[in-house]
């Protein structure tokens, strides 16, 4: 599960709201046709603009998700590296204790 910090979550939420607004505007423009069933040139331009905004939003949203996942992978890799170092240090400590016990037994 990906944990997100508060600013990232707010940014994602705002982006999701924006896509809903763009989708609603595009749907409204698509419905606006002339009496003969043809689209008016201005409506077509508005529709293209709305679709371009929607595409741009999805591109930005995808890039943001990729960046978040990349940061999450880096964070997890850092945790794994730290855990590996801790385990290695613990193993070295245990070996040193065993050697000390063996030396102590030899002296007795």
Q: Would the pTM count as exceeding 0.85?
A: no
Overall average pLDDT of the 100-106 stretch: 88
pLDDT digits (tens, 9 = 90+) for 70-96: 888 998 999 999 999 999 999 999 999
Spatial contact of 52 and 20, defined as CB atoms under 8 Å apart: no
């Amino acid at each position: 599960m990906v944990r997100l910090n508060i600013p990232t979550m707010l940014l994602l939420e705002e982006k999701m709201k924006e896509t809903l607004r763009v989708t609603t505007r595009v749907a409204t423009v698509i419905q606006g046709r002339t009496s003969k069933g043809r689209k008016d040139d201005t409506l077509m331009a508005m529709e293209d603009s709305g679709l371009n905004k929607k595409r741009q939003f999805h591109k930005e949203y995808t890039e943001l998700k990729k960046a978040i996942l990349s940061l999450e992978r880096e964070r997890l890799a850092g945790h794994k590296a730290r855990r590996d170092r801790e385990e290695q240090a613990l193993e070295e400590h245990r070996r040193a204790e065993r050697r000390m016990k063996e030396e102590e037994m030899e002296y007795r």
